[in-house]
Amino acid sequence: MSEPLLMTIADGVELCAVQTDMFKTCKINIMMALPLAGDIAAKAALPYLLRRSCRAYPSVTSLNGRLDTLYGAVLGASVMKKGEAQILNLSLSAIDDRFALDGESVSGEAVRLLLDMLFEPKLEDGTFPQDDIDAEKRLLLERMRAEDDDKRTYARRRCEEVMCADEAYSRNRYGTAQEIESLTGARVYAAWREALETAVIRIVTVSSGTPDAVRGQLSARFGTLERRVAAIETQFIPDAAGEKYERETQPLMQGTLVMGFRCGMHASEDMDPAMTVAADIFGGGTYSKLFTIVREQMSLCYFCAARLNRDKGILLVSSGIETENESKTREAILEQLRAVQNGEFDAEMLETSLRSLRDSVRSYTDSPDVLCAWYANQIFRGTAKTPQQRIAEYDAVTLEQVQAAAQKITPDTVFMLAGTGEEHHA
Amino acid sequence: MRDTLYTDVLLGESYREIRHPSGLTIRVLHKDGYKSSFALFATKYGSIDTRIEQPDGSFRAIPEGTAHFLEHKLFESEDLDAFARFAKTGANANAFTSFDMTAYLFSGAACFSENLEILLDFVQSPYFTEQTVRKEQGIIGQEIRMYRDSADWEVEFNLLRALYHHHPVRIDIAGTEQTIAEISADLLYDCYRNFYNLHNMVLAVAGNATVEEVLAVADKVLKPAVGKSAVREFVPEPKAPAQSYIEERMPVNVPSFALGYKEAISAPERTGKEVLCTEVLLDAVAGRSSALYERLLREGLINTGFGAQYFYGFGYANCEFSGESADPKRAAAEIRKAVAAARQTGIDRESFERARRKLYGRIVMGFNDVQSVAVDMVESYFAGDDLFERARVCRDMTLEDVNARLKEILDDETAALSVVLPADGKEA
């Protein structure tokens, strides 16, 4: 596998190319970052609308039929939140030409198709057709509402909303239902131009081909644009101002407790990787405090895990529990945090955590999807740090750094999705 | 010891299958350039095994959820539990129980031999006490409740309950809080002896590791198996579903549905050709490039989560169409009409070729991922196939094969519909 090549295609547009023949596929991922502000709903609708059809394949059936013919090429569209950036993603994986049964070129066609979709969408009278907009409006609303049907996702989202109520981060990445319902072709067209002309863009490829071909295609497309790159900033609040509590009851068998913490961070690279290690010892793997004590010793739950969000400097602990065990579980979780803060973990525990973290980073190069995500996530740093370099950073972490990082963690918000514990009605 | 090399030139992959003197079959697929290895040690014992064979050949019932309970408990031992042992190598260890197997696994990019030794050792070293069994009832009780609150899970299991009269595929994999309360340490030992016999198991390794590394550990750790493979009963099912409609109210925003067609089967297991032909025809009828998909989407009856799958195992097989819908009954009616029409006319050549190429591409892509390769090696072994059977059948399949298959399945009289509706909503 080659070292990644990082190239500037246009102002604010980077290509990060990894060349390897280890895989059966070629993969290309286009990540476009915009501020989590303005017409969020129109921007959220954009990747899904581009995924729907394009000028060359103007219907759902024709575009999907084309993908099938390209040996089931997988075309992905998604919207994410990364700190206070709204991330629009388009990606495509297709089998490498070596595995095509009739000797046809698949990967070159696939890359061209993805770029066609981004640059040559289906337009009518200079804008997106209203019936396509209406169809995608419904799908976006259902997607947003269906996400809340996963109670764990819902409880985490609610905790973040309460915790970050006064920050842009509390905005839903799809916008509000009202904003979606009122979407027009003109608004999504404006979002498309905004994305092409102002987004911070990183394209990552993992394929057996040389980067020159894709670089040429990208330069030809982006070279025609007048770019003025948007400034994207995330507000970091290092310390909790006080403890907030919110509770909601639903007719559920199980309750979900989510506790939100601030991590003393002023930027995403603060205390890196010590904070990652602290979060891992607190509630990462099966050796963590939360797993070994709260689950295994106290039998309070099936899952209890801590997840650090570096892009926002917050940490969430979530756990599925008997509703009546809420206060007992909260106390147990805080007690385990205090244990990490008091340095109640030894060099062996630190090494256990580091071994596990290093092991998973070492595996990144075994998956084109994971590798793509690894390089795409460095979008705001302008770097192409390799997994190997990340391992070296873990090697340098000390016990003192981890304890010091843990001591910066302060409890901010508790969200309890209480269940009634009753059976649902058949 | 028998050692066989299997190669598929078009896929560019090879693996070796070894009949180890201990009685265990081992499959190893080495991947050049990969840093990690994924190992899966599995037994043909899942939630559908609710009866175990007695010395006199008769069968006795065991509580629902026992296979899954045993999976949780096998991680414990008298001294250091398996998670604590894996913590010393950095590997990521886990296990899962499905309808027809229990599998223990690790993935790791270092210390392969140590990891494999821990895996083979802890699965061969049961340690159950009444106290540790009781402790687990709390944890698994929460796991059961977590799934009961998941609409995706409920819509699927309700469908199985509607389709099947007797077959234990209709029960929850983890059982219920009542059935797991009946589990004792003695019972776990009985089940362990019956199902965790190396003749009933397989080890699959994919990734960085080599056959020599695997065998060195296997020779050291595997204890020769006595006894024979566990025997499964084939429970015949009536052709018609137990009920044609089942509904549940849950606190959800978006209703969901699963429409299933039960297959009339006279033998417990499906051949590779039956499976692949079914997958291709389901994609031709309801895949993303089908006329049905486009129409349902346009009429607002499905969203992009809609899909069809072939769901099969020992003694059960059905075709399922599932997704979210504002109007599940109308969506199901439209699908039934389209399926009936396809059975009349057959699949056309163009749709067949599209679906076949797509499936072949997805099979190829699966070889990127060591986890997917290891799981496929286990599943194909339990099905009596080699790993490359799917790719081969897909390459050789014809339109006539698929249309012949279509005549055997998807009979409208075998269909059942499961829906989950919002708790506070109006009648659908």
The token duo for B69 is: 């309970």
A99–B12: do the CB atoms touch at under 8 Å?
yes
Please tell me whether residues B8 and B107 are part of one structural domain. yes
Q: How far is CA A381 from CA A14, A314, B113, B197, B358, in A?
A: 11, 19, 38, 53, 37
Does B362 reach chain A within 8 Å, measured CB to CB?
yes
Out of B138, B358, B423, the one facing A251 most closely (by C-beta) is B423
Please tell me whether residues B261 and B330 are part of one structural domain. yes
Q: How many CB pairs under 8 A join A and B?
A: 202
pLDDT digits (tens, 9 = 90+) for A149-203: 999 999 999 999 999 999 999 999 999 999 999 999 999 999 999 999 999 999 9
Does A425 reach chain B within 8 Å, measured CB to CB?
yes
Nearest to B417 by CA among B298, B334, B294: B334
Return the bridge partners of A89, or none: A31, A78
Question: Could you tell me the residue range of the domain that residue B377 belongs to?
Answer: 245-422
pTM: 0.95
Return the bridge partners of A318, or none: A258, A305
In the 8-state DSSP scheme, what is residue B74?
H
HSE (side-chain half, CA atoms, 13 Å) at A26: 26
Which H/E stretch holds residue B156? helix B151-163
pLDDT of residue A426: 57
The token duo for B46 is: 């899942």
Mark which residues 119-138 of A lie under 8 Å from B by CB.
135, 138
Query: Could you tell me if B269 and B383 are in contact, meaning their C-beta atoms sit under 8 angstroms apart?
Result: yes
Task: Give the number of other Cβ atoms within 10 Å of residue B145's Cβ.
Answer: 21
A24–B253: do the CB atoms touch at under 8 Å?
no
Out of B246, B298, B395, the one facing A135 most closely (by C-beta) is B298
Return the bridge partners of B12, or none: none
Task: Work out the minimum CA distance from A176 to partner chain B, whole angstroms.
Answer: 15
A299–B139: do the CB atoms touch at under 8 Å?
yes
CATH code at position B305: 3.30.830.10
Mark which residues 247-276 of A lie under 8 Å from B by CB.
250-254
Does B388 reach chain A within 8 Å, measured CB to CB?
no
Please tell me whether residues B28 and B64 are part of one structural domain. yes
Does A99 reach chain B within 8 Å, measured CB to CB?
yes
Instruction: List the single residue in B with minimal CA-CA distance to A323.
Output: B142
Chain B residue numbers with beta carbons less than 8 Å from the beta carbon of A363 are: 35-36, 107-109
| Ranges in chain A, pLDDT < 50 | none
Give phi and psi for B7, each to the nearest 5.
-135, 140
Whether B60 maps to a domain, the answer reads: yes
Does A102 reach chain B within 8 Å, measured CB to CB?
no
Mark which residues 266-325 of B lie under 8 Å from A by CB.
287-291, 293-294, 297-298, 300, 303-305, 324
Pair type for strands B307-313 and B316-324:
antiparallel
Domains contained in chain B, number: 2
Q: In A140-296, where do the E strands start and end?
A: 200-207, 244-250, 255-262
Does B178 reach chain A within 8 Å, measured CB to CB?
no
Chain A residue numbers with beta carbons less than 8 Å from the beta carbon of B299 are: none
Instruction: List the single residue in A with minimal CA-CA distance to B368.
Output: A23
Does B349 reach chain A within 8 Å, measured CB to CB?
no
Instruction: List the single residue in B with minimal CA-CA distance to A67.
Output: B358
Whether B410 maps to a domain, the answer reads: yes
Q: What is the ipTM of this complex?
A: 0.94
pLDDT digits (tens, 9 = 90+) for A299-322: 888 889 999 999 999 999 999 999
Mark which residues 146-165 of B lie under 8 Å from A by CB.
146, 148-151, 154, 158
Task: Work out the minimum CA distance from A88 to partner chain B, whole angstroms.
Answer: 18
Instruction: List the single residue in B with minimal CA-CA distance to A349.
Output: B87
Whether B427 maps to a domain, the answer reads: no
Q: Which of B115, B135, B254 to mutate to test the interface with A (most CBs of A within 10 A)?
A: B254
Task: Work out the minimum CA distance from B179 to partner chain A, whole angstroms.
Answer: 16
pLDDT of residue A296: 87
| Ranges in chain B, pLDDT < 70 | 425-428
Nearest to B195 by CA among B270, B131, B124, B136: B124
Please tell me whether residues B266 and B329 are part of one structural domain. yes
Does B424 reach chain A within 8 Å, measured CB to CB?
no
Whether B231 maps to a domain, the answer reads: no
The token duo for B283 is: 């994609």
Domain end residue (candidates: B189, B221, B253):
B221
Residues of B noted as catalytic: 71
pLDDT of residue A423: 74
Query: Could you tell me if A177 and B286 are in contact, meaning their C-beta atoms sit under 8 angstroms apart?
Result: no
Angle at B195 between CA B189 and CA B196, to 5 degrees: 80
Query: Could you tell me if B420 and B248 are in contact, meaning their C-beta atoms sit under 8 angstroms apart?
Result: yes
Does B89 reach chain A within 8 Å, measured CB to CB?
yes
Instruction: Considering only CA atoms, give the Rg of chain B.
Output: 23
Nearest to A330 by CA among A264, A250, A258: A258
**Domains delineated in chain A:** 5-222 (3.30.830.10), 244-419 (3.30.830.10)
Per the listing, tokens 């009605």 go with A425
pLDDT of residue B49: 95
Does A322 reach chain B within 8 Å, measured CB to CB?
yes
Chain B residue numbers with beta carbons less than 8 Å from the beta carbon of A286 are: 83, 86-87, 93
Instruction: List the single residue in A with minimal CA-CA distance to B251.
Output: A251
Q: What is the edge-to-edge ordering of all strands in the sheet holding A244-250? A: A244-250, A410-419, A255-262, A314-321, A304-309
Task: Work out the minimum CA distance from A206 to partner chain B, whole angstroms.
Answer: 12
CA distance A73 to A147: 26
Does B106 reach chain A within 8 Å, measured CB to CB?
no
Pair type for strands A85-95 and A74-82:
antiparallel
A425–B357: do the CB atoms touch at under 8 Å?
no
Whether B86 maps to a domain, the answer reads: yes
Please tell me whether residues B376 and B255 are part of one structural domain. yes
Nearest to A254 by CA among A190, A313, A325, A307: A325
Task: Work out the minimum CA distance from B413 to partner chain A, whole angstroms.
Answer: 23
Query: Could you tell me if A16 and A375 are in contact, meaning their C-beta atoms sit under 8 angstroms apart?
Result: yes
Please tell me whether residues B155 and B299 are part of one structural domain. no
Out of A254, A299, A359, the one facing B90 most closely (by C-beta) is A359
Query: Could you tell me if A9 and A203 are in contact, meaning their C-beta atoms sit under 8 angstroms apart?
Result: yes
> Residue A54, Cα to own-chain centre: how many angstroms?
26
Does B90 reach chain A within 8 Å, measured CB to CB?
yes
Query: Could you tell me if B204 and B381 are in contact, meaning their C-beta atoms sit under 8 angstroms apart?
Result: yes
Whether B236 maps to a domain, the answer reads: no
Instruction: List the single residue in A with minimal CA-CA distance to B89.
Output: A355
Does B247 reach chain A within 8 Å, measured CB to CB?
yes
B294–A61: do the CB atoms touch at under 8 Å?
yes
B36–A67: do the CB atoms touch at under 8 Å?
no
CA distance B153 to A154: 17
CA distance A52 to A121: 9
A424–B135: do the CB atoms touch at under 8 Å?
no
Pair type for strands B13-19 and A314-321:
unpaired
CA distance A306 to A280: 7
CA distance B370 to B373: 5
Chain A residue numbers with beta carbons less than 8 Å from the beta carbon of B249 are: 424-426
CA distance B284 to B278: 10
Please tell me whether residues B215 and B249 are part of one structural domain. no
Does B93 reach chain A within 8 Å, measured CB to CB?
yes
Please write down the long-range contacts of A216-221, taking CB distance under 8 Å and 24 or more positions apart: A217/A111, A217/A112, A217/A115, A218/A9, A218/A13, A218/A15, A218/A115, A219/A9, A219/A10, A221/A115, A221/A118, A221/A119
Please tell me whether residues B23 and B87 are part of one structural domain. yes
CA distance A87 to A173: 9
Q: Which of B111, B118, B149, B159 to mutate to test the interface with A (most CBs of A within 10 A)?
A: B149
Please tell me whether residues B8 and B123 are part of one structural domain. yes
- Please report, as a single letter, which amino acid is at residue A272: D
Instruction: List the single residue in B with minimal CA-CA distance to A62.
Output: B289
pLDDT of residue A299: 85
Q: Which of A145, A363, A423 to mutate to test the interface with B (most CBs of B within 10 A)?
A: A363
Please tell me whether residues B318 and B377 are part of one structural domain. yes
Please tell me whether residues B182 and B295 are part of one structural domain. no
A320–B145: do the CB atoms touch at under 8 Å?
yes
Domain end residue (candidates: B179, B206, B221):
B221
Please tell me whether residues B400 and B354 are part of one structural domain. yes
CA distance B118 to B124: 10
pLDDT of residue B1: 83
pLDDT of residue B80: 83
Residues of B371-394 as b/e, b for ≥16 C-beta within 10 angstroms?
A: bebbbbbbbbbbbebbbbbbbbbb
Does A177 reach chain B within 8 Å, measured CB to CB?
no
B251–A252: do the CB atoms touch at under 8 Å?
yes
CA distance A37 to A356: 37
Domain end residue (candidates: B154, B189, B221):
B221
Q: Is B360 left (phi over 0), alpha (psi -120 to 50) or beta?
A: alpha
